[in-house]
Structure 1
Amino acid sequence: MLRITIPRIAALVALVLMVGYTFVLAPRLSHDRHQDPYSFAGAAPTAMPSWLTTALAAPPAPSADPGATASPSPTATPQPPQFPPAGGAFTGIMTKPGPYDLGPLDEFTAAVKHQPNVLEFSVGWWDRKFDRRVFDTVAERGIMPMVAWEPWDYRKEAKEDKLRGEQPEYALSNIIDGRFDDYIKTWAEGVKGLGYPVALRFAHEMNGYWYPWAEQSNGNRKGQYVQAWRHVHDIFKQVGATRVTWVWSPNVDYENATSLSSLYPGDDYVDWIGLSGYYGTTGVEKYKSFDQIFQPTIDQIRAFSRKPVVITETGATDTSGLKAQWITEMFSQLPQHPDIIGVIWYESRKEVDWRVAASTAASEAFAAGVAAPRYNTPWTVHSEPALTVAPPTTPPAPTSAPPATPGPTGTGAAKPPVKKPTPSTTRPRSGSTPAG
């Protein structure tokens, strides 16, 4: 019979601990290591990235406002830098892969010798999750993330043009009735937990017909877009996600578009007004300058809002070799619009090759334009969005196309059978980026 001794008891305890670690604790620790530390399922992230901890601990950078001359007193609380500063404007790009592949961003930056201040990317509601990493990947570069947040499943987009916006699951009534509230709250909590400002371009180009949230599509009714926008906005406000720049972003007006004023949620619900417009899509085959594309719509918007304008999607075809000229004109015309505080280029190949980096002439034209001091507008995690702009002192001078230069005859796409072509599959849409 074994005698019970202290050494034997100690050995037995050690054996029990080893068995417990091997079969219970170790597998659990291994499982935890493989979990995404920044994934959200309605909960806060487990940790904040070290780069962000360091950046938030640093004091805000001084204002880049060229008119600012007085320095704050040593005891004064530093004011967060405004983005962009008064008199300035930012530049950005939108790419197909967005933060999942920064190669196009790096190519653009090298080509124009200037890092964009904003990277816009798409996330569809079908994904049903919030992934912090995609935001941090952008912000770590000193670039503001702007999300085109799209209530649909782009993978199920109909091939037939008139059916592109038909996805009953994402009807505006379902958003208004709260069927997506849990998902919206997950995003609101995730954005709140970031610790830095982001821009949310929710349900853009709503004045068209090609998305399920358009009032012309999907069985939606007049007035529901505003209700849906306010519903989503109110959830973010209730959660306390206040460092969000809300970007209301229609397509430039066209003959069959829904009235912009009827779709506007109101100044209390909007921070920036965005616009999509291209030279080279259906209906814009003949040469039109930046002013000619955007000014008529801006004039309409100024009848109901003075919010800052951001060109949230633009690009130019090189079908007739005029892309570089168009870019040069864009930069020459922008200073005449102090209420336009940013321009985001669609740096991608779709119906045509919109990329600046794909053309030496276009790259040089963009580099020359963006070298102006007004585009030296750094973004930091301390930045706060510019929410007001001074009214223009004089109206912008009208700009017409150079009469001696023929415009392109077309982009190779068929025109819809209407008096003035409505946008069709030839217009680049932003809902084509996988969300992870």
Structure 2
Amino acid sequence: MARLTVPRVTMALVGVLLLTYAFAIAPRTTAGRPERAAGKPEHTTTQPSAAAVEPSPSSRPPEVFPPAEKVFIGVATKEGPYDFTPVADFTAAAGHQPQVMLFSSGWATDTFDRALFDEISGRGMLPMLAWEPWDYRLDEKAREQGAARRTIDRIRSHQPDYRLSHIARGDFDDYLLSWAEGIGALDHPVAIRFAHEMNGNWYPWCETANGNRPGDYVRAWRHVHDLFEAAGASNVIWVWSPNARWDGSTPKLAGLYPGDEYVDWVGLSGYYGMGAFSKYRSFDAIFKDTSREIRTFSDKPLVITETGASDTGGRKAEWITETFRLLPQHEDIIGLIWFEVTKEQDWRIVSSPAVAAAFAQGVAAPRYRFGWSPDLLPRTELAD
């Protein structure tokens, strides 16, 4: 056995100190922290936060309008928000509070009036503005003079100041901006149905009238839409709304469509009891073919933005009953707006007790029973 001598003890102690330095002290002396290997991230161990350990409850998804598997019923009247008596009469006859109110405004005479929108919203209805770039007084004057329908269409459709190219090039930008700023300042959404029935020939914004050319409608629509976006009017629901196709002479709709990025709802106008639809034709016969055509280029939710029935053939109540029977088969339709107006024909549901009863029975179904409020987000996708 080796003897423990002072020199040997001393040497052993020195060795222990050197080993301690090499393995315990030296790594800590470089800038007070260990060096990282080149090209590798520094790894630190931290305790998970309380939120990571126990995630907070997920917030409820925003409610949409209309809710899933529901369909809104709206109303349009001649008086609009200037007189709610016809709306009250419609509500009483239908036994139903409409969730949307459509009203018209012409560019030649009307300026933005916040009170009109707030009045509609305050009565529990989403305002939908039929925004019309024309002077509607020419149409009214021709009607007062008893002009034939074709003459009326020709007079009102020929308004060169309101050519689509003039809108697209910015001639009306000051006017548009005043509305964009006004609507953008509202504390509720507004649906804008700009220049509807553009596939006809009876308005100055139709591509087949007033010196307009192919492509002008899309350019005008996008210009108006982009101006509103630039002005910060993010509360607008954009509604593109052609007329239901009545024969093969009307233009293809795909060329008139601005694109899904410019549209929130697609719409259709169509009536039973007038013109090409004077003979009895069901809701499906009027709308189905055009709806199928729209589905070749857009999957946006569909709204029947104008419809009504006349009683010239004595089948108005029957048509309404059949319409409410057929509607559930159209899962892409999220709303229907009734034209409660006497114009060309008496389209109103208050035209007779039998018609009112048929309508009231139809809207009594649970799928139409819900309310609108300003905090609801518009359903802009069918998958919502």
Instruction: Give the TM-score of the pair, scaled to structure 2.
Output: 0.81
Listed as ranges, the matches of 1:291-302 within 5 Å are 291-302=284-295
Letter in 2 for 1:84: P
2:100 matches 1:108: no
What is residue 169 of structure 1 aligned with on the other side? Answer: 161
Aligned partners of 1:128, 1:113: CA distance in 2, in Å?
A: 33
Offset of residue 74 of structure 1: 9.5
Offset of residue 78 of structure 1: 5.1
Offset of residue 195 of structure 1: 1.1
1:56-111 Cα distance to aligned partner (Å, 9 max, x none): xxxxxxxxxxxxxxxxx996555442100010000011100110000000000001
Aligned partners of 1:266, 1:239: CA distance in 2, in Å?
A: 21
Aligned partners of 2:56, 2:89: CA distance in 1, in Å?
A: 42
Aligned partners of 2:110, 2:361: CA distance in 1, in Å?
A: 42
What is residue 278 of structure 1 aligned with on the other side? Answer: 271
8 Å CA contact 2:302, 2:333 repeated in 1: yes
Q: Secondary structure at the match of 2:277?
A: coil
Listed as ranges, the matches of 1:204-283 within 5 Å are 204-255=196-247, 256-283=249-276
Aligned partners of 2:63, 2:183: CA distance in 1, in Å?
A: 20
Q: Secondary structure at the match of 2:108?
A: helix
Offset of residue 383 of structure 1: 1.1
Q: Secondary structure at the match of 1:252?
A: coil
Q: CA RMSD in A?
A: 1.6
Q: Secondary structure at the match of 2:129?
A: strand
Letter in 2 for 1:214: C
Letter in 2 for 1:244: V
Listed as ranges, the matches of 1:379-394 within 5 Å are 379-390=372-383
Aligned partners of 1:252, 1:354: CA distance in 2, in Å?
A: 17
1:105-136 Cα distance to aligned partner (Å, 9 max, x none): 00000011101111100000112521001101
8 Å CA contact 1:307, 1:388 repeated in 2: yes
Listed as ranges, the matches of 1:396-411 within 5 Å are none
1:5-26 Cα distance to aligned partner (Å, 9 max, x none): xxxxxxxxxxxxxxxxxxxxxx
Aligned partners of 1:316, 1:254: CA distance in 2, in Å?
A: 16
Aligned partners of 1:194, 1:76: CA distance in 2, in Å?
A: 30
Offset of residue 378 of structure 1: 1.1
Aligned partners of 2:324, 2:383: CA distance in 1, in Å?
A: 20
Aligned partners of 1:222, 1:137: CA distance in 2, in Å?
A: 39
Q: Which runs of 4+ in 1 moved over 3 A?
A: 73-80
Letter in 2 for 1:91: I
8 Å CA contact 1:250, 1:276 repeated in 2: yes
What is residue 347 of structure 1 aligned with on the other side? Answer: 340
Listed as ranges, the matches of 1:318-333 within 5 Å are 318-333=311-326
1:302-336 Cα distance to aligned partner (Å, 9 max, x none): 11111110000000111122111101111100000
Letter in 1 for 2:136: Y
Offset of residue 276 of structure 1: 0.4
Structure index of larger Rg:
2
What is residue 365 of structure 2 aligned with on the other side? Answer: 372
Aligned partners of 1:388, 1:332: CA distance in 2, in Å?
A: 24
Q: Secondary structure at the match of 2:220?
A: helix
What is residue 184 of structure 1 aligned with on the other side? Answer: 176
What is residue 20 of structure 2 aligned with on the other side? Answer: none
Offset of residue 177 of structure 1: 0.9
8 Å CA contact 1:317, 1:323 repeated in 2: yes
Aligned partners of 1:137, 1:204: CA distance in 2, in Å?
A: 24
Whose helix proportion is higher, 1 or 2? 2
Of 136, 147, 153, the match for 2:129 = 147
Letter in 2 for 1:361: A
Instruction: Give the TM-score of the pair, scaled to structure 1.
Output: 0.71
225-234 or 128-137, which deviates more: 128-137
8 Å CA contact 1:128, 1:183 repeated in 2: no
What is residue 394 of structure 1 aligned with on the other side? Answer: none
Aligned-pair identity (%): 57
8 Å CA contact 2:162, 2:204 repeated in 1: yes
8 Å CA contact 2:138, 2:155 repeated in 1: no
Listed as ranges, the matches of 1:305-324 within 5 Å are 305-324=298-317
1:149-176 Cα distance to aligned partner (Å, 9 max, x none): 0000100236523343110110111101
Q: Secondary structure at the match of 2:312?
A: coil
Q: Secondary structure at the match of 1:319?
A: coil
How many positions carry a matched residue from both structures?
Answer: 319
8 Å CA contact 1:80, 1:382 repeated in 2: no
Aligned partners of 2:313, 2:264: CA distance in 1, in Å?
A: 37
8 Å CA contact 2:246, 2:276 repeated in 1: no
2:155 matches 1:198: no
158-167 or 184-193, which deviates more: 158-167
Q: Secondary structure at the match of 1:126?
A: coil
Unpaired segments ≥5 residues, structure 1: 1-72, 392-436
2:118 matches 1:126: no
8 Å CA contact 2:99, 2:126 repeated in 1: yes
1:211-239 Cα distance to aligned partner (Å, 9 max, x none): 11111111111000000000000001101
Unpaired segments ≥5 residues, structure 2: 1-54
Letter in 2 for 1:323: K
Of 350, 353, 356, the match for 1:363 = 356
8 Å CA contact 1:83, 1:377 repeated in 2: no
Aligned partners of 2:106, 2:56: CA distance in 1, in Å?
A: 47
Aligned partners of 2:110, 2:259: CA distance in 1, in Å?
A: 28
